Structure 1
Amino acid sequence: MKGGRGLTAHELGTPARVLLYSVRRAPWWTVVSVVSRVAGIAVALAFPAALARAVDAALGGAPGLVWLGSLIGAALLTGALEVWAAAAGGIAVEVSLRRGVIRRVLEAGIPGRRRFSSGDVGSRLVSASEAANLVSIVLSALGAVALSAGGLVALALIDWWLAVAFVVCVPVATVLVRRFVAETTGLMRSYRRLQGDLSARLVEALTGARTIQAGGTLDREVERVLAPLPELGAAGRATWEAQRRTVWKVGLLAPLTEVVVLAVAGVGVSDGRITAGSWVAVAGYVTIALGLLNVVDPLMGLAHVRVGTARLAEVLSLPAGPGGPRALPDGPGAITFRSVTVHARDGAVLGGSVAIDARDEGSVSVCAGGGAVLDGVDLDIPPGLAVAVVGRSGAGKSTLAALAGGLLRPDRGEVLLDGADVAEVCPEELRRAVAYAFERPALLGDTVHDMIAYGSVDVSREEVELAALRVSADGFIRRLPDGYDTALDRVPLSGGEAQRLGLARAVVRERRVLILDDATSSLDTATEAEVTMTLTRLLAGRTRIVVAHRAATAARTDLVVWLEDGRVRATGPHDLLWREPDYRALFGEAVPREPA
């Protein structure tokens, strides 16, 4: 992972690795949890003996409650300390897990992968909370086993027949618990998968709420979103049924075992082998020994962790986004494509990698059937020019734009920025050299000022206002309730206004390359002309790549790259290409020619 070592799928491969990861992330809290758990076990094992001593002392007329009171105080203290350490350590691990998974999600460009929609990723992140409690779960299970073993040893020390009576019931309980864990693990895996599917469908529906309302398809969409619900309910009921079958058997086995052991102890009292106080101790120790049956809850938690971390590991196993450790050399912004080929994978969306300014919902290229979006593209973009990329829908315009700034790695070939392969350049350096603006810019930040300054360090108010002025956004911003300090959740922006804010964010700092992926499509003709004039004149000297759909936009650039079926059909000035009937057809014959 770029920028330092991050969370890997290997670290979540097995519960043992998750446990090791948790210990590394919260070492001191783990130590406190272990110490308090061990102390609690010691106190619990000492308590029945102290109670027996107190009973015998009371029957003999001597005081014996001091030691018993001290143990009660120690039990309260160790219990509180354990809860505190478990909570603090769990929070530290959960934060680390969520940070690692979210970082990989953003690096890998999850929005461009249908397998992991935002709703599905959200449901998977819930597993981080369960995994964060793994130390506590393991300590609970080990503590139950240790207590049970200690109780059994104490019974044997009092009278070995007591231990024999108890051990007879252990194999039955072991078989029940093992069968329960094996059954519920598979059921929970199915339940989590269906839960993620339902969440993903809901997020998709919310995203397309206006389309659903306009199409009058509300009932049909509700049915589509809830389609996994019957199967989800069946998986949930099956899990509870498995737990019910196990719990009642374990619940029946516990009192039967206790009755048998106490009956044997009663015989010992009548024979004079066991004192009255020791009989009281037996009642305490048999309850402690039966704690082994309480390991069902920790094992259930362990099954949750196994399923949840496996789902997190699927996200972490995705390849990281483009970029490497190489430094970007100084240069004027020359871009070269050498035999570049990009394939669509299973009809998935391309060009969605995420890196600072690329978190917008931009135009994307889709190629059904897994064909080539770009096929053997060779192209030289001279530095300092304004270049329009034109072509029909699906020609690969947005994919080419994503490649130029290193948001997408080609399947074959290489893309060079000032002689450096962008696939090997450090992403942080690329973001300082390349700025993007998209068709639907994401409004990130608290205020309008923050949104424009997002991704640029130490940007002054003057620079933000200048950027907004350059893209004709200053006027409507100053009409907002608090101007540039207006909270974004109070800004009812039109599509054109949002695009102008996105453009301002792209031009707020001097970068050698500026890439506009359909970033002026919602502007009216007059505003688009003003913005294009800024891009061609005031920003002269930067390399500017504009994905264009209007003849007027292409006419104002220095060079046009004409894409057709994933290949470069022609390059040249707009005036020269306009002579081609097929080129004019891209914009419609009725569109009048506008001189450069």
Structure 2
Amino acid sequence: MTPRGERERPRPAGRDFTFGAVVLHGGRWLPLIGIAALVDSLAMLALPFVFGRTVDAIVGGGDVNRWLLVATGLIVVSIVSDLVDTFADAACSAGTTAWLRHRLIRHVLAIGPVGTRRFTTGDLVSRVSSNAVDAARAGPSSVTVGAAALPPVGSLVLLAYIDVWLAAAFLAGVALVALVLLAFARRTAEVALAYQQAQGRIAARLTESLTGIRTIAAAGTVDREDERVLQPLPGLHDHGMRTWSVLARSSAQAAVVGPIVLVAVLAAGGLQLVDGRITAGEFFAASQYAVMGAGLGALTGVFAELARARAGVQRAAEVFDVPPIWYGRRELPPGPGRLEFRGVTVRGDDSVLLDGVDLVVPGEAAVAVVGRSGAGKSVLAAVAGRLRDPDEGQVLLDGVPLHEIGHDSLRAAVGCAFEEPELVGATAGDAIGLGLERGLVVAAAHATHAYEFVSRLPEGFDTALHDAPMSGGERQRVGLARAWHAGRLLVLDDATSSLDTVTEMQISRTLTGDLGRRTRLIVTHRAATAARADLVVWLEDGRVRACGPHAQLWDDLAYREVFG
């Protein structure tokens, strides 16, 4: 039974994200594609029969014009259905691509920073961009492959109608073509997935390089970085060559088998024509049906597209397999922002980051968190802001476990600022408070001393973010202003480390002063900030070594060494 205030943990979306689900999302476009392909196939199947009748009419002095008129009508129907198929195919692919990208982006944002650590940034971008396009072809390519069965089946039926020996010769050849296509489909699926994975590795390394491009330029390591980014390129080349090798081999096999089908049907038809069992027009029609059967080999491109679609769906499903952060339904009761850690343990890949932390952060207090590098300060801040959940224990805000609080209620109550904030939004004002009233945005900028430089931008708060170059300290002030709107708890993870001494002192005084019913958890390396805090939490090796006023802890030499 689900405890009060909690929602049942959602299943990983990857279980429901299957190739069939992507196909079905094509909706109304898939029947239209199927009907258009069906009409086109029927028209093309009818044409050889009509042309055969035309030949017989010419030979026998019949009504040639009537059959030519029917042939013209069939050609027009084929052209129109082909146009409809092309339009519906493009519309289906575009709609499915948009749907898939929307789902992927929402899920990537929902799984949070811990979930996305399983993938590199560039690899995620590759999955959302190029792989989503491949996956979106699942529906159209499936319908195309299904519709491709009609011409050979129809040709077989019509050849049997003309003469059973023609059908037997045709069937033997088409069976060989089908075996070629099945072997091609199996080989292509593996190669397509490997190719997409290699593309993702290159995209990941390129993203890393673009992020650190100033460092690369300053270090003079452009050539080495170029080699590092393109290191997977030979593998990509090998996978590409394997793809083309499989395609070329299958195309060559189909090119050999195809004429065998035609020769077999023509030979059987020639004998039947000599014996007078079929007419010249029927012989002509039989040759055209043989060409249709031999044309199955051209479907290697369609099967290759189907394989890429399956690989794209598999790559997207791997993202959906990561469960999102889930939230409860409870609203926060009135309270001062009292934060409590009860037996909180957080594990990394091969170490314990926080080890059974029991801690109470008084409501409306300014509490500094200090410790050497690797002591667990940032992990404690992430758990407090519910950017990650503990492996054991729980964190409570005003008596309510964080995981039971509804998303909107929690994010309105808790704000987080970081050492290296990533600014998002169209304008500088959006980076501070997207969707908020301008008055609140300006007030937050004043409180964090961001107003001084934002107001000097060409368009002030309406300046496009990409036209607003900022220093590290200025970015931190914008990051602080973004978190300023939180109503109950501010979690600041070394969020003033890049500020100049004067600005840091001003903001530190603001943070450690009376903020009106807001609790502040401040990760810091500066003794001055710890001195102004109401309480200091001293972490060491993932445990709370001591907790008390800065002046009291200062008597401990090991505590003083934390600040260098």
Shared topology, TM-score over 0.5? yes
The one-letter code matched in structure 2 to 1:412 is E
Asked if structure 2 preserves the Cα contact closer than 8 Å seen for 1:7 and 1:101, the reply is no
One of 470, 473, 483 as aligned partner of 1:496: 473
- Sort the Cα spacing of 1:512 and 1:334 in 2 relative to 1 into closer, same or farther, 3 A: same
The one-letter code matched in structure 2 to 1:154 is L
The one-letter code matched in structure 1 to 2:239 is A
- Sort the Cα spacing of 1:467 and 1:475 in 2 relative to 1 into closer, same or farther, 3 A: same
Asked if structure 2 preserves the Cα contact closer than 8 Å seen for 1:188 and 1:304, the reply is yes
Asked if structure 2 preserves the Cα contact closer than 8 Å seen for 1:323 and 1:406, the reply is no
Aligned to 1:119: 122
One of 156, 168, 184 as aligned partner of 1:180: 184
Distance 2:517 2:496 in 1: 21
Shift of 1:393: 0.7
Aligned to 2:372: 392
2:387 maps to 1:411: no
Asked if structure 1 preserves the Cα contact closer than 8 Å seen for 2:382 and 2:388, the reply is yes
Aligned to 1:226: 230
Distance 2:20 2:99 in 1: 13
Aligned to 1:358: none
- Sort the Cα spacing of 1:292 and 1:11 in 2 relative to 1 into closer, same or farther, 3 A: farther
One of 303, 306, 310 as aligned partner of 1:306: 310
2:91 maps to 1:88: yes
Distance 1:491 1:4 in 2: 42
Q: Deviations over 1:94-148 (max 9, x none)?
A: 2222222222222223577554101111222322211211111111111111211
2:216 maps to 1:236: no
- Sort the Cα spacing of 1:330 and 1:82 in 2 relative to 1 into closer, same or farther, 3 A: farther
2:560 maps to 1:584: yes
Aligned to 1:39: 39
Aligned to 1:106: 109
Shift of 1:515: 1.1
Partner SS, residue 149 of structure 2: helix
2:213 maps to 1:209: yes
Partner SS, residue 441 of structure 1: coil
2:544 maps to 1:568: yes
Asked if structure 2 preserves the Cα contact closer than 8 Å seen for 1:7 and 1:97, the reply is no
Shift of 1:61: 4.8
Relative to the length of structure 1, the TM-score reads: 0.88
Q: Which runs of 4+ in 1 moved over 3 A?
A: 2-7, 54-59, 110-115, 322-330
Aligned to 1:351: none
Where do residues 216-365 of structure 1 align in structure 2 (5 Å cutoff)? Answer: 216-321=220-325, 323-345=327-349
Asked if structure 2 preserves the Cα contact closer than 8 Å seen for 1:403 and 1:415, the reply is yes
Distance 1:11 1:467 in 2: 43
Computed over aligned residues only, the root mean square deviation of the Cα atoms, in angstroms, reads 2.2
Once the two structures are overlaid, the 10-residue window that deviates more, 132-141 or 187-196, is 187-196
Once the two structures are overlaid, the 10-residue window that deviates more, 123-132 or 263-272, is 263-272
Where do residues 495-534 of structure 1 align in structure 2 (5 Å cutoff)? Answer: 495-507=472-484, 509-534=485-510
Aligned to 1:484: 461
- Sort the Cα spacing of 1:22 and 1:238 in 2 relative to 1 into closer, same or farther, 3 A: closer
Asked if structure 1 preserves the Cα contact closer than 8 Å seen for 2:369 and 2:539, the reply is yes
Distance 1:463 1:561 in 2: 32
Once the two structures are overlaid, the 10-residue window that deviates more, 33-42 or 55-64, is 55-64
Shift of 1:226: 2.1
Asked if structure 2 preserves the Cα contact closer than 8 Å seen for 1:150 and 1:289, the reply is no
Distance 1:139 1:53 in 2: 32
The one-letter code matched in structure 1 to 2:472 is G
Aligned to 2:411: 431
Q: Deviations over 1:138-186 (max 9, x none)?
A: 1111111121101111111011111111122233223322222222322
One of 139, 159, 175 as aligned partner of 1:155: 159
Asked if structure 2 preserves the Cα contact closer than 8 Å seen for 1:402 and 1:408, the reply is yes
- Sort the Cα spacing of 1:558 and 1:496 in 2 relative to 1 into closer, same or farther, 3 A: same
Partner SS, residue 519 of structure 1: coil
Asked if structure 2 preserves the Cα contact closer than 8 Å seen for 1:268 and 1:274, the reply is yes
Distance 1:317 1:474 in 2: 43
Once the two structures are overlaid, the 10-residue window that deviates more, 165-174 or 415-424, is 165-174
The one-letter code matched in structure 1 to 2:554 is W
Relative to the length of structure 2, the TM-score reads: 0.93
Aligned to 2:438: 461
The one-letter code matched in structure 2 to 1:122 is V
Partner SS, residue 27 of structure 1: coil
Distance 1:415 1:164 in 2: 75
The one-letter code matched in structure 2 to 1:387 is V
Aligned to 1:75: 78
Partner SS, residue 514 of structure 1: strand
Once the two structures are overlaid, the 10-residue window that deviates more, 180-189 or 579-588, is 180-189
Partner SS, residue 394 of structure 2: strand
2:167 maps to 1:191: no
Aligned to 1:541: 517
Aligned to 2:3: none
Distance 2:258 2:289 in 1: 13
Distance 1:194 1:293 in 2: 29
Q: Deviations over 1:210-252 (max 9, x none)?
A: 2223333332222222222222222221221222122112112
- Sort the Cα spacing of 1:291 and 1:317 in 2 relative to 1 into closer, same or farther, 3 A: same
Asked if structure 2 preserves the Cα contact closer than 8 Å seen for 1:145 and 1:291, the reply is no
Distance 1:196 1:31 in 2: 34
Distance 2:467 2:118 in 1: 34
Distance 2:199 2:54 in 1: 54
The one-letter code matched in structure 2 to 1:512 is R
Asked if structure 2 preserves the Cα contact closer than 8 Å seen for 1:322 and 1:406, the reply is no
2:48 maps to 1:48: yes
Distance 2:501 2:115 in 1: 31
- Sort the Cα spacing of 1:510 and 1:139 in 2 relative to 1 into closer, same or farther, 3 A: closer
Partner SS, residue 168 of structure 1: helix
Distance 2:139 2:239 in 1: 27
Structure 1: runs of 5 or more not aligned: 346-369, 589-596
Shift of 1:444: 0.8
Shift of 1:446: 0.9
